[in-house]
Amino acid sequence: MTEAVSRPTLEAVAARAGVSRATVSRVVNGAGGVREPLAERVRQAVAELGYVPNQAARSLVTKRHQAVAVVIAEPETRVFADPFFALQLRGISKELTAQDNQLVLLLIEGRDDHARVARYLAGGHVDGALVFSLHLDDPLPGLIQGASVPTVFGGRPGWGAGTGRTRAQGPGVVYVDCDNRGGARAAVRHLVGLGRGRVAHITGALDQTSAVDRLDGYRDVMGEVPGGYDSRLLAESDFTPAGGERAMRELLDRCPDLDAVFAANDLTALGALRVLRERGRRVPVDVALIGFDDMLSVAEQTDPPLTTVRQDIEEMGRLMARLLLQVLSGGRAQDTPEAPAGSTAPAAPDAGLILPTKLVRRASA
């Protein structure tokens, strides 16, 4: 390993440019108020010495770290089985990078990890946090509140809505989500519009709001069509292919007359598709099938290719980061950043930014 020679300091730059440390600091931080010839000399010295500010020293006085924690709380392997997580990360990374912030990744694997992460966040090592994959019973929100770290959630947090737990942070909570309910409605409406009368739904893991919201969307539409809603057409699952298979078998056994399925996500649809084929049901002729997510590696690869509801995952990540940085720089969360056309920022009480979804027609419905 090469010997790490000590890097040049502000002092060194000042000496070389023949000015004071204060002046160098001003130039480096673009504070202005420095006459051009001087500034130029400083820039020159910086370049010659290859000066890079010492972030630790800077943080010590500014109390800012230019760093944001990304907390992924997914003990299960699910997150790792689909590119969801990677895409969000990519969006986040882009935005943070653009605003010169670093991304500190905190993965939560086991139960004790919660304490560790909470301690880290409370330790004031980062300026803010981006938190994902919350389940209804997740202790994280409480811990985060205790740490009093500015936070933006990915996906509408479950508490405050359902169970009676820590709902203290109800209003004031900032999150970014896609229009799960609207997307589900669009999917089911499409199936109904195709003339399908017996539309089933395989839910996601119902301890996550995305699953609940998609189920609600399904109910919205099925409730409208005469004789549409039938609880036997509902099978609870967990967002996985295996879960999709199980649920599809169950549905087929219970309601052999079903002629369409709206699956909570593409992975679930994949499982359902396998069972449908196995049982000799043709898709979409006998049974029309729609997924959710538009995970290209799945939806485009199935046979037939999957009709599904697209959400812009990378954009969600980017928006989360943008929102957080905005909060950090003193902006109110409500002042939504240039939200993409079609997204919704409900007035109150939560500061949620909802991205639009879009039905993508392929061959399965």
Partner DNA sequence: GTGAAAGCGCTAACAC
Partner DNA sequence: GTGTTAGCGCTTTCAC
Instruction: Name the site residues for a second copy (rule: CB under 8 A).
Output: 1-5, 7, 50, 52-57, 59-60, 65, 67, 70, 79-83, 85-87, 89-90, 93-94, 97, 102-107, 109, 113, 116, 119-120, 122-125, 145, 148-150, 172, 241, 270, 296-297, 301, 327, 333
Structure tokens at 298: 């799945």
DSSP 8-state class, residue 307: B
Residue type, 193: G
62 part of the interface to DNA, by CB under 7 A = yes
Rounded Cα distance between 149 and 328, Å, is 10
102 part of the interface to DNA, by CB under 7 A = no
Query: Which of 6-14, 93-101, 267-275, 312-320 is the region at the interface with DNA (rule: CB under 7 A)?
Result: 6-14
Query: 104 is in the binding site of which of a second copy, DNA, none (Cβ under 5 to 8 A by kind)?
Result: a second copy
Other CB atoms within 10 A of residue 157 CB: 27
Answer for which of 22, 81, 86, 98 binds DNA (CB under 7 A) is 22
Query: Which of 19-27, 111-119, 210-218, 258-266 is the region at the interface with DNA (rule: CB under 7 A)?
Result: 19-27
Answer for which of 1, 4, 5, 60 binds DNA (CB under 7 A) is 60
Q: How far is the CB of 122 from DNA (least distance, A)?
A: 13
User: Rounded to the nearest 5 degrees, what angle is found at the Cα of 83, between the Cα atoms of 77 and 87?
Assistant: 125
168 part of the interface to DNA, by CB under 7 A = no
Query: 162 is in the binding site of which of DNA, a second copy, none (Cβ under 5 to 8 A by kind)?
Result: none
Q: How far is the CB of 183 from DNA (least distance, A)?
A: 44
Q: How far is the CB of 228 from a second copy (least distance, A)?
A: 33
Structure tokens at 365: 């419905």
Tokens 């909470």 sit on residue: 118
x/- string (CB under 7 A) for DNA, residues 254-293?
Answer: ----------------------------------------
CA nearest neighbour of 291 among 275, 268, 258: 268
330 part of the interface to DNA, by CB under 7 A = no
State how beta strands 288-290 and 351-355 pair. Answer: unpaired
State how beta strands 67-73 and 102-108 pair. Answer: parallel
104 part of the interface to DNA, by CB under 7 A = no
Q: How far is the CB of 110 from a second copy (least distance, A)?
A: 10
Number of residues that bind DNA (CB under 7 A): 28
Query: 11 is in the binding site of which of DNA, a second copy, none (Cβ under 5 to 8 A by kind)?
Result: DNA
23 part of the interface to DNA, by CB under 7 A = yes
Please say which residue, 90 or 249, places its beta carbon nearer to a second copy: 90
| Element (DSSP H or E) covering residue 308 | strand 308-310
Show contacts of 111-115: CB within 8 Å, 24+ apart.
114/73, 114/139, 114/140, 114/143, 115/143
Rounded Cα distance between 140 and 146, Å, is 10
355 part of the interface to DNA, by CB under 7 A = no
Structure tokens at 247: 């649920």
Please say which residue, 56 or 285, places its beta carbon nearer to a second copy: 56
Alpha helices in the chain, H assignment, sequence order? 10-17, 21-28, 36-49, 55-62, 78-81, 84-98, 111-122, 140-147, 180-193, 209-224, 241-254, 266-278, 296-299, 313-328
Query: 33 is in the binding site of which of a second copy, DNA, none (Cβ under 5 to 8 A by kind)?
Result: DNA
Contact 68, 104 (CB under 8 A): yes
Residues that bind DNA (CB under 7 A): 6, 9-11, 18-23, 25-26, 28-29, 31, 33-35, 38-39, 51, 53-54, 57-58, 60-62
